[in-house]
Structure 1
């Protein structure tokens, strides 16, 4: 029995080292090897690029006005409503004209009466000589007759045929005729002034009658209707809001440091949320001569053709102004930049491993970013599978 137990103990002791060795071998075989990620790569390069001014702005109507009534009266008819396109001079509102027609007839009657006294046929006739007026011709004839009689009386008095009384009477009639002639000429001058006054009154009455048709001051679209049929209008009562949306104006604020870059006539590109991916082009039309002291910016205005009526006043726009300024900058593909936890990173490839590095971005040029800080020229960077990378990740560069 003792011999059997001894044999078992010896076999057990011999088996233990073998088991331990097999277990270590299996553990080593089970340990995962570091995974190598294949990535596309590019180099940081230096290029000369044109500088664009990037900003934001708002589109405005080229012209916008509130059309108001210039006469008092009741609205008889509405000719346009919201969204309608109207041309310059097109009727928008008709006001009842009856009362103004009566006023015009009254003023025309007074004018014609004054014209008849001057011997004129109509209001377009002009008086070239005051002596052509019938009353003046009559006063002139009376004066001539009195003067001749006075001269005869003087002759007869000198020849002692006429008495002193007859001479005095002839002189009195002559003086009265001259005074009447002078008064008549003065009356003609007053009558001519009165005719001018009546003509002005008639012209004003005609204008008021025309103003019963409220017309569009320019071609555009109705933004808002503020009046209804039957409403009584007073002078300056708003009736419509009218906008001209072709072209449209863009106003944007540009930092003062970019003032030397922007000039009238430069191309402006905008994008709006209503049409993602679509670029609208215009040109700089005006530049403010002053800088806002609070914001340290100056205003730039651009015009955009809007024949297709796609753009609308009030649209918020992202703005890019092409300039002649060029700089040599560091560029990397946009696909090489990973935004994470509030920072932008690129992955530098060195010795088969990547090193994550924070970078400071500048402007975007097409599919590339300008790098202001964080990389050096000719460094190799990963441009694919960035979300799989971290410091020390082993990578292989895919063949181009």
Structure 2
């Protein structure tokens, strides 16, 4: 019994000594080096893809039907604004103009005007109107004399009534002659419009180049009869080109007219081009939730052609405030990135998704750190959350 009591006392003393040693080990803080989190102003940008598109593209056609006499440009050839590009046979249209001109001149002759020379003005009178005026004046003179004579009894009342009726008839005849003149003049103006339409249709047998460009495709050859509005050539305005890009919904509010961007293309390795956003679609595409934007190059470059695929860097914020820490403060394990914030003599574990790195400093997003906070930059593998440390 005595030996058992001694053994128990010995074991108890050993246990207390182990506890004191463990506590001493736990209390002992780890010495770490620290660095301050730094606030920086950086340029935020997103990477998207885009396509270069021509400034203008048009399918050239004719406004009138006819047989093609000549096409004065072929695939790949450069054409200039105002040049004659397509010609149709104009024989039928010449005849239509002559027929319309003849009808107009015939109507002008009815109102005593010379043949059409480009400008016409309505006549004040015609032989028919002048005859009606003379007859009316004669009837009026006789009526006025009879009105005096009937009062003195020199003529009978019946004779006076006949002259009064004759005056009214001549007045009606004069009004009818003037109405006829107005009707004939309206007919003249209508025939003049017909002539101008015929002349325009004849002019439409020549199709001119709407803008400086290059023939991208030839659809029909000379000698073929075409109806109106049938495509004959495709014309492309290759300079300046436009950059069309699709901006993700998350960045849609950051893109505005005047936003600068840069882009590269495999067709010009190592060259960075600049452009500025000029147009924005007022609504997002409901299928892929993207905003279509168009940018214009700051200066033209012959190396860029419509249809090229480009990689775009779009600046969304010029001077965004971010908090960064040195690269040495990061500790990655099992796919997680960690750092230890040192505060009140203890290490606090922070797990996060690191942002971009610049000049050896990595962004810590989400407001996890404030500028001036201290973070450990060594002994990271030995630290745990809440561990006591000394600097």
TM-score (norm 2): 0.69
1:248 equivalent to 2:238? Answer: no
Distance change (3 Å), C-alpha of 1:320 and 1:166: same
Ranges in structure 1 where 5+ consecutive residues have no aligned partner = 1-42, 334-342, 346-358, 381-400
Distance change (3 Å), C-alpha of 1:260 and 1:201: same
In structure 2, distance between residues paired with 1:312 and 1:364: 35
Q: Which residue of 2 aligns with 1:276?
A: 269
2:220 is paired with a residue of what secondary structure?
coil
1:326 equivalent to 2:320? Answer: yes
Equivalences for 1:22-37 in 2 at 5 Å? none
Q: Which residue of 2 aligns with 1:145?
A: 138
Q: Which residue of 1 aligns with 2:189?
A: 196
1:370 offset after TM fit, Å?
6.2
Contact 1:330 1:377 in 2 (8 A): no
1:177 equivalent to 2:170? Answer: yes
1:120 offset after TM fit, Å?
3.9
Q: Which residue of 2 aligns with 1:125?
A: 120
In structure 2, distance between residues paired with 1:261 and 1:255: 10
2:226 pairs, out of 228, 233, 242, with 233
Q: Which residue of 2 aligns with 1:104?
A: 97
Q: What is the root-mean-square deviation in Å for CA atoms of aligned residues? A: 3.4
Distance change (3 Å), C-alpha of 1:48 and 1:237: same
More displaced 10-residue stretch of structure 1: 113-122 or 188-197: 113-122
More displaced 10-residue stretch of structure 1: 65-74 or 286-295: 286-295
More displaced 10-residue stretch of structure 1: 132-141 or 262-271: 132-141
1:69 equivalent to 2:62? Answer: yes
TM-score (norm 1): 0.68
More displaced 10-residue stretch of structure 1: 280-289 or 68-77: 280-289
Q: Which residue of 1 aligns with 2:342?
A: none
In structure 2, distance between residues paired with 1:267 and 1:378: 39
Q: Which residue of 1 aligns with 2:107?
A: 114
Contact 1:282 1:302 in 2 (8 A): yes
Equivalences for 1:1-400 in 2 at 5 Å? 48-121=41-114, 122=116, 123-127=118-122, 131-163=124-156, 166-304=159-297, 307-322=300-315, 323-328=317-322
1:195 is paired with a residue of what secondary structure?
helix
Aligned length, in residue pairs: 311
Distance change (3 Å), C-alpha of 1:319 and 1:369: farther
